Amino acid sequence: MKKVSIKAICAGVVIGLVGSTLASIVIAIVYGIPLDKIESGYSNSLYLISDLFLSLVVVFLSGYATGKIGKDNPVINSIIVGAIQLIILSSLHLKNPTMPGWYTVTMLMLLLPAAYLGGKVASKKTDLTKLV
């Protein structure tokens, strides 16, 4: 049985959390939302959709990086990273439910598949035309 890589998983979680935070800051700056009042952007659907998209791209990239670092089992390592990010994000949204429900549900539904796809693309055996 192939091993999971703790180093790859830790790197993927850090990339995901730091990247998502930076993505949210960049989106807030683009939309002119003060960082100390970022919750005021939650009523702007375009802001939320942009934040959701960019956050999912970051999750994909964290899954990809995890897959590249944990070469022995890239997909499983990426799924573990996605699951950890899912647990962290779920607890944050339950603790402070300021985001609209549709945003939270969409993010939680797409987070694990995005991490999986990142790991799948990172695996050497992947033919990109077979992902669809």
The domains of the chain are located at: 6-123
Burial of residue 58 (CB within 10 Å: 0-12, 13-18, 19+) is: buried
Instruction: Kindly state the average pLDDT of the residues 49-66.
Output: 94
80's CB contacts (< 8 A; 6+ apart) are 4, 9, 66
Predicted local distance difference test score (pLDDT) of residue 58: 95
Q: Which of 81, 85, 87 is nearest to 120 (CA)?
A: 81
Model confidence pLDDT, tens digit, residues 73-120: 899 999 999 999 999 988 887 777 778 888 888 998 999 999 999 999
pTM of the predicted model as reported, rounded to 2 decimal places? 0.85
Tell me the two tokens of residue 75: 């997909």
